[in-house]
Structure 1
Amino acid sequence: MKRGGIALWLLAATSIVHQVKGQAQAKDLLRALQGGIHVSLQQYQGDSLMHQWTFDGNTLTNTQGRWQLEWQQSAIPGSTAGQEITLTCKLLEGTAPSTAVAVDFGFGHWQRENYVMVPAIVYNGNRYRAIGNGYNPDYPKDMYYNPAVPITISNNPRLSVSAAGPSGLELSTTNTSVPAMSFYAPAAKKGWMVLTEQATRYGNSGLNIRENDSRDSCTFTITAPAMRKMAAGFGDFHPSGDQAPDWHAGNEVTIRFRVYTFSASGIPDLLKQFMTLRKSLAGPNHPRNLVPMSKLAALGTDICRNNFVETKAGSYYLPENSRNFQLGWVSGMINTFPMLALNDEKERARVARELDFITFRMQGKSGFFYGFISEAGALGTEKGSSDFPALQAMVRKNGDVLFWLMKHLLLLKAQGHAQTIHPEWEAAAQKLAAAFVQNWQRYGEFGQYIVPETGEISVFNSSAGAIVPAGLALAADYFHRPEWLRTAEAATTFYYQRDIVTRGFTSGACGDISQDADSETAFGFLESLMALYQYTKQPVWLERAKVQAALCASWTMAYDPVFPPGSEIGKLQCHMAGAVWASSQNKHAAPGICTSSADYLFKLYRATGDERYAALIRDIQHAHTEAVNMPGHITTNYLIGSSMERIQLSDAEGKGSIGNFIHTRNSWTETNGILMAMELPGIYVQPGEGKLFVFDHITATPIGEDKGVVTLRLSNTTAYDAAVAVMAESTEAAKKPLGYTAFLHWPKVAVAAGATVNIKVAKNGEVTVL
Structure 2
Amino acid sequence: MSIKYRILVTTLLLSTHILQAQQQVANALLNQLHGSLRYNVCQYDGTTLLSEQTFQQERLQTGSGDWRLQLRTTALPGGATDVQMVCQLERGTAIQSAVTVSLDFARWSAGNYVLVPAAVYNGNRYRSIGNGYNPDYPRDMYYHPGVPLTISNNPRLSAVDGQASVIALQTGNAATPAVCFFSPQEKKGFVLLTTQQTSLGNSGLTITENGAKDSCSLSISVPAIRKLATGFGDFHPSGDRAPDWKAGDEVTVHFRMYAFDAENIPALLQRFMELRKELSGPNQPRNILPMSKLLQCATDICRGNFIEVKTGAYYRPENNDDFQLGWVSGMINTYPMLALNDEKERKRVARELDFVTEKLQGESGYFYGGITAEGKLRPEKMHPDFPELQAMVRKNGDVLFWLMKHLLLLNEQGYGKMIRPQWEQAAKRLATAFAATWQKHGEFGQYIAPRTGEIAVYNSTAGAIVPAGMMLASRYFHVVAWTKMAENASAFYYLRDVEKQGLTGGDCGDISQDANSESAFGFLESLMAMYYHSGDRRWLQKAETQAALCATWALSYDPVFPPGSAIGKLQSHMAGAIWASIQNKHAAPGICTSSGDALFKLFRATGNRRYADLLRDIQHAHAEAVNMPGHPTTNNLVGSSMERIQPSDAEGKGSIGNFINTRNSWTETAGMLMALEVPGIYVNTDKKDIYVFDHVTAKVVTAEKSAMVITVTNPTMYNASVSLLAENDRQAAVPLSYTAFVKWPHVTVNAGQTVTVRITREGVVAI
Same fold (TM over 0.5): yes
The farther-off stretch of 150-159 and 380-389 is: 380-389
Would the aligned equivalents of 2:164 and 2:213 in 1 still touch at CA under 8 Å? no
Q: How many Å apart are 1:474 and its aligned residue?
A: 0.4
Q: Distance in 2 between matches of 1:127 and 1:162?
A: 9
Distance verdict in 2 for CA 1:496–1:255, change over 3 Å: same
The farther-off stretch of 17-26 and 335-344 is: 17-26
Taking the TM superposition and a 5 Å limit, the aligned residue runs for 1:666-745 are 666-745=664-743
Residue in 1 aligned with 2:102? 104
Q: SS at 1:653's partner residue?
A: coil
Would the aligned equivalents of 1:364 and 1:370 in 2 still touch at CA under 8 Å? yes
Residue in 2 aligned with 1:648? 646
Residue in 2 aligned with 1:139? 137
1:70 pairs with 2:70:
yes
Would the aligned equivalents of 1:688 and 1:705 in 2 still touch at CA under 8 Å? no
Q: Which amino acid in the other structure matches residue 169 of structure 2?
A: L
Q: How many Å apart are 1:735 and its aligned residue?
A: 1.3
Taking the TM superposition and a 5 Å limit, the aligned residue runs for 1:301-700 are 301-700=299-698
Q: How many Å apart are 1:22 and its aligned residue?
A: 7.0
Distance verdict in 2 for CA 1:640–1:16, change over 3 Å: farther
Residue in 1 aligned with 2:766? 769
Would the aligned equivalents of 1:578 and 1:621 in 2 still touch at CA under 8 Å? yes
Would the aligned equivalents of 1:16 and 1:71 in 2 still touch at CA under 8 Å? no
Would the aligned equivalents of 1:21 and 1:74 in 2 still touch at CA under 8 Å? no
Taking the TM superposition and a 5 Å limit, the aligned residue runs for 1:170-181 are 170-181=168-179
Residue in 1 aligned with 2:4? none
Q: How many Å apart are 1:230 and its aligned residue?
A: 0.1
Q: How many Å apart are 1:75 and its aligned residue?
A: 3.0
Residue in 1 aligned with 2:266? 268
Distance verdict in 2 for CA 1:558–1:14, change over 3 Å: farther
Would the aligned equivalents of 1:120 and 1:554 in 2 still touch at CA under 8 Å? yes
Residue in 2 aligned with 1:49? 49
Q: How many Å apart are 1:597 and its aligned residue?
A: 0.3
| Residues 262-310 of structure 1: per-residue CA shift (max 9 Å, x gap) | 1000000000011000000000000000010000001111110111110
Q: SS at 1:503's partner residue?
A: coil
Would the aligned equivalents of 1:688 and 1:706 in 2 still touch at CA under 8 Å? no
1:206 pairs with one of 204, 207, 222: 204
Q: Distance in 2 between matches of 1:16 and 1:237?
A: 42
Q: How many Å apart are 1:26 and its aligned residue?
A: 2.1
Q: SS at 1:414's partner residue?
A: helix
Q: How many Å apart are 1:147 and its aligned residue?
A: 0.6
Q: SS at 2:310's partner residue?
A: coil
Q: Distance in 2 between matches of 1:228 and 1:594?
A: 31
Q: Which amino acid in the other structure matches residue 681 of structure 1?
A: P
Q: How many Å apart are 1:471 and its aligned residue?
A: 0.2
Could you list the runs of 5+ residues in structure 1 that have no partner in the other structure?
A: 1-12
Q: How many Å apart are 1:15 and its aligned residue?
A: 4.8
Would the aligned equivalents of 2:590 and 2:671 in 1 still touch at CA under 8 Å? yes
Residue in 1 aligned with 2:277? 279
Distance verdict in 2 for CA 1:361–1:157, change over 3 Å: same
Taking the TM superposition and a 5 Å limit, the aligned residue runs for 1:75-154 are 75-76=75-76, 79-154=77-152
Q: SS at 2:217's partner residue?
A: strand
Q: How many Å apart are 1:736 and its aligned residue?
A: 1.4
Q: Distance in 2 between matches of 1:199 and 1:72?
A: 19
Q: Distance in 1 between matches of 2:83 and 2:241?
A: 26
Q: How many Å apart are 1:19 and its aligned residue?
A: 5.3
Q: Distance in 2 between matches of 1:411 and 1:445?
A: 30
Q: How many Å apart are 1:166 and its aligned residue?
A: 2.3
User: Structure 1 length normalisation: TM-score?
Assistant: 0.97
Would the aligned equivalents of 2:103 and 2:217 in 1 still touch at CA under 8 Å? yes
Residue in 2 aligned with 1:757? 755
Q: SS at 2:605's partner residue?
A: helix
Q: Which amino acid in the other structure matches residue 67 of structure 1?
A: W
Q: Which amino acid in the other structure matches residue 623 of structure 2?
A: T
Residue in 2 aligned with 1:37? 37
Q: Distance in 2 between matches of 1:686 and 1:134?
A: 50
Q: SS at 1:732's partner residue?
A: helix
Would the aligned equivalents of 1:687 and 1:728 in 2 still touch at CA under 8 Å? yes
| Residues 581-638 of structure 1: per-residue CA shift (max 9 Å, x gap) | 0000000000000000000000000000000000000000000000000001111132
Q: How many Å apart are 1:766 and its aligned residue?
A: 1.1
Q: How many Å apart are 1:387 and its aligned residue?
A: 3.0
Q: How many Å apart are 1:59 and its aligned residue?
A: 1.1
Q: SS at 1:110's partner residue?
A: coil
Q: Distance in 2 between matches of 1:616 and 1:24?
A: 36
Would the aligned equivalents of 2:307 and 2:314 in 1 still touch at CA under 8 Å? yes
Q: Distance in 2 between matches of 1:377 and 1:461?
A: 31
Q: Distance in 1 between matches of 2:266 and 2:307?
A: 46
Q: Distance in 2 between matches of 1:387 and 1:677?
A: 46
| Residues 463-482 of structure 1: per-residue CA shift (max 9 Å, x gap) | 00000000000000111111
Q: SS at 2:729's partner residue?
A: coil
Q: Which amino acid in the other structure matches residue 376 of structure 2?
A: A
Would the aligned equivalents of 1:97 and 1:245 in 2 still touch at CA under 8 Å? yes
Q: Which amino acid in the other structure matches residue 50 of structure 1?
A: L
Q: Distance in 1 between matches of 2:687 and 2:501?
A: 40
Residue in 1 aligned with 2:163? 165
| Residues 125-181 of structure 1: per-residue CA shift (max 9 Å, x gap) | 001111111000000000000011111100000011101122111000000001000
| Residues 667-702 of structure 1: per-residue CA shift (max 9 Å, x gap) | 010010010000000000112413110000011011
Q: Which amino acid in the other structure matches residue 563 of structure 1?
A: F
Residue in 1 aligned with 2:746? 748
Q: How many Å apart are 1:394 and its aligned residue?
A: 0.1
| Alpha-carbon RMSD | 1.1
Would the aligned equivalents of 2:25 and 2:73 in 1 still touch at CA under 8 Å? no
Q: How many Å apart are 1:16 and its aligned residue?
A: 5.9
Q: Extract structure 1 runs of 4+ deviating beyond 6 A.
A: none
Would the aligned equivalents of 1:14 and 1:57 in 2 still touch at CA under 8 Å? no
Q: How many Å apart are 1:25 and its aligned residue?
A: 3.9
Q: Percent identity?
A: 60
| Residues 502-532 of structure 1: per-residue CA shift (max 9 Å, x gap) | 1110010110000000000000000000011
Would the aligned equivalents of 2:114 and 2:181 in 1 still touch at CA under 8 Å? yes
Q: Distance in 2 between matches of 1:371 and 1:589?
A: 25
Residue in 2 aligned with 1:3? none
Q: Distance in 2 between matches of 1:676 and 1:14?
A: 60
Would the aligned equivalents of 1:728 and 1:765 in 2 still touch at CA under 8 Å? no
Distance verdict in 2 for CA 1:286–1:21, change over 3 Å: farther
Q: SS at 1:428's partner residue?
A: helix
Q: Distance in 2 between matches of 1:15 and 1:398?
A: 66
Would the aligned equivalents of 2:19 and 2:57 in 1 still touch at CA under 8 Å? no
Q: Distance in 2 between matches of 1:652 and 1:164?
A: 29
User: Structure 2 length normalisation: TM-score?
Assistant: 0.97
Would the aligned equivalents of 2:318 and 2:324 in 1 still touch at CA under 8 Å? no
Would the aligned equivalents of 1:688 and 1:708 in 2 still touch at CA under 8 Å? no
Q: Distance in 1 between matches of 2:364 and 2:15?
A: 73
Q: SS at 1:254's partner residue?
A: strand
Q: SS at 2:263's partner residue?
A: coil
| Residues 546-583 of structure 1: per-residue CA shift (max 9 Å, x gap) | 00000000000000000000001000000000000000
Q: SS at 1:557's partner residue?
A: coil
Q: Which amino acid in the other structure matches residue 182 of structure 1?
A: C
Distance verdict in 2 for CA 1:194–1:116, change over 3 Å: same
Q: Distance in 1 between matches of 2:762 and 2:236?
A: 56
